Amino acid sequence: MSIIEVRGLKKSFDALEVLRGVDLTVEAGERIAIIGGSGCGKSVFLRCLELLEIPNAGQIFIDGEEITAPKVNIDKIRRKLGMVWQKFNLFTHMNVMENLTVAPIKLLGMTKDEAQKKAMDLLAQVGLTSKAEVYPEFLSGGQQQRIAICRSLMMNPKVILFDEPTSALDPTMVGEVLAVIRMLAKQDLTMIIVTHEMNFAREVATRILFFADGEIYEQGTPKEIFDAPKRPKTIAFIHKQKYFSYEISERNFDLMEMQGGIQMFAEKYGLSARRTNRLQLCCEELIYDMFDNACEGDAIKISLDVTYAESDNSVEIKFTCAGKQHNPLDKDFDEFDEDNLGAAILHNLAQNYSHEYSDGINKIIFTMT
C-alpha cells in the first residue's frame, strides 16, 4: 500500500490557481525531491498534504486514510507526517529538551523518561547533546534546524516533509543541515523535500518532481531529470536558460530597438562586450540575408530567439522565417564577394549550425562563438 496518494489536487487563492490537478503516489522508503521556480506551488503542495492549506478539490490519503474526508480525525492522521519548516518554528520559551519532548509526552503518551532518552539519542545523531538545556535564541540557525528535524523524528512519523529546510540559513550553515538529511536518507525514511539545492537533490532523492504550471510538469530519476530532461520548461530550469525573443513583421522594423534589447539581455546575464557585439552582428546579418533571399514581397514573418545557458555559458540562436527555402550558409566560402558578406560573417561566428525547411518555414539553429 502506498504511504501517500494524491488524486486530482487543486488549490486556488481567489483567482490565482496554484495547483491544477496534481496526482502523486509515494511508496514507503522513497525520497522525493520537489524542484521548480518560485511561485510554482511546491510549498503549497506540502501544506495541502497536512491540510494546513485546504484544497479546493481532490483527495489525499496518508497511509491508507483519507485526510480530506469529511469528519475525519485530521490531527490523528497528521501525526503520521513530520514537517520541517524554513523558519524552524521552535518554541522560544522552551529549551531544546522541552521542545523535543512536549509533543510525544502529550500526544503519544510517552513517559518523561522515555521521551528524554529518545531525545538524547536523536541529539547524539545530530551532534547536539550539549545543547539539551539551551534555549533556541542561543543556537545558530543550523543548530535550530537540526533540532527541528529531531523534533519531527520524536513523533515517529511515517513521512517527513521538508519545506526548503536550508533557505533561511547562512550559506556556512547549509552543509550541516544537509548532512543530517543525508543521514536520514541512509535509514530509508520516507521523505518529500522541497529544495533549491540541486546537487543535494541529485545525491539524495530517488525521484525528482519538477513543478511548473500548477502541476507535476515532469518527473523521473535524478539522472533522467538532471542529465536528460525532456520537456522545454524542465530543460530551461535545469540548465538555467535565459531568453530574449523578438518578432519582425515588416521590412522597416526597428533595428535599434532589437539591438538595444539584445544589449540589455547580454548585460543582465554578464555576457562580455565582445560576445554581445557578435550576437548583435549575427542577428542583424541573418535578418537582412533572409529579407533578400527568403521573404517574398512585404509578407514578413520572422521570429528570433536567443537562449543563454548559465550552466555552460553557451549562447544559442533560433531563427524562423516564412518564405522561400533559403540557407544562408549553403554557399561556397572559398571566395567572398560583397553579396556574400553577411553569410561570411555568419560562417565565421556560428557553430553547430543547422537548417530545416518545412511547410514554408526556414528554421535555423546555431550556437555562437
Helix or strand run (H / E) with residue 317 = strand 314-322
Over residues 135-167, the pLDDT tens digits come to: 999 999 899 999 999 999 999 999 999 998 888
CA–CA separation, 122 and 169 (whole Å): 21
At residue 109, φ and ψ (nearest 5 deg) are 75, 20
The three grid cell numbers given for residue 183, joined into one nine-digit string: 543521514
What percentage of residues in the chain have a pLDDT greater than 90?
63
Whether 121 and 197 map to the same domain: the answer is yes
Clarify whether residues 137 and 222 are in a common domain.
yes
CATH code of the domain containing 299: 3.30.565.10
- Grid coordinates representing 203 are 545525491
Give the CA distances from residue 126 to residues 9, 40, 147, 244, 345, in Å, rounded to whole numbers and listed in that order: 35, 32, 8, 47, 60
Q: Is the pLDDT of residue 337 over 60?
A: no
Out of 64-73, 163-172, 193-202, the most confident range is 64-73
Same domain as 247, residue 213: no
pLDDT average, residue stretch 173-194: 89
Both 180 and 316 in one domain: the answer is no
Same domain, 122 and 174: yes
Q: What is the mean pLDDT of residues 122-130?
A: 93
- Boundary residue ending a domain (208, 238, 268): 238
Residue owning grid cell 503516489: 25
Q: What is the pLDDT of residue 343?
A: 59
Same domain, 83 and 38: yes
Q: Can you give the pLDDT at residue 264?
A: 92
Kindly state the average pLDDT of the residues 273-285. Answer: 88
Instruction: Work out the number of other CB atoms within 10 angstroms of the CB of residue 111.
Output: 11
> Partners of 351 in the beta sheet?
367
Region for residue 3 given its phi and psi (left: phi exceeds 0; alpha: psi -120 to 50; beta: otherwise): alpha
At residue 366, the 3 state secondary structure works out as strand
* CA dist list (Å): 49 to 10, 68, 80, 252, 336: 12, 9, 11, 56, 66
Are the C-beta atoms of 83 and 62 separated by less than 8 Å?
A: no
Three-state secondary-structure class, residue 341: helix
Are 226 and 251 part of one and the same domain? no
Domain end position, chosen among 222, 238, 254: 238
pLDDT tens digits for range 16-73: 999 999 999 999 999 999 999 888 999 999 999 999 999 999 999 999 999 999 999 9
Model pTM score: 0.72
- CATH number of the domain encompassing residue 69: 3.40.50.300
Whether residue 9 is predicted with pLDDT greater than 50 in this model: the reply is yes
Please provide the average confidence, as pLDDT, over all residues in the chain: 89
Instruction: Confirm if 178 and 191 have CB atoms less than 8 A apart.
Output: no
Q: Which of 238, 272, 289 is the last residue of a domain?
A: 238
Tell me: do 11 and 52 sit in the same domain: yes
> Do 183 and 82 fall within a single domain?
yes
Q: How many domains does the chain have?
A: 2
Structural domain containing residue 313: 241-368
Q: Is 269 helix (H, G, I), strand (E, B) or coil?
A: coil
Rounded mean pLDDT of 72-76? 92
Sequence length of the chain is 369
Q: Is the domain of 271 the same as that of 212?
A: no
Supply the pLDDT for residue 346: 67
Q: Indicate if 210 and 250 belong to the same structural domain.
A: no
State whether 188 and 260 are in the same domain: no
Q: Residue 344 — very low, low, confident or very high, per pLDDT cuts 50/70/90?
A: low
Exposure of 206 in the CB half-sphere (CA atoms within 13 A) = 13
Q: Note the helical H segments in 88-239.
A: 96-107, 112-125, 141-153, 171-185, 198-204, 222-227, 232-238
- Looking at residues 194-216, what average pLDDT do you find? 92
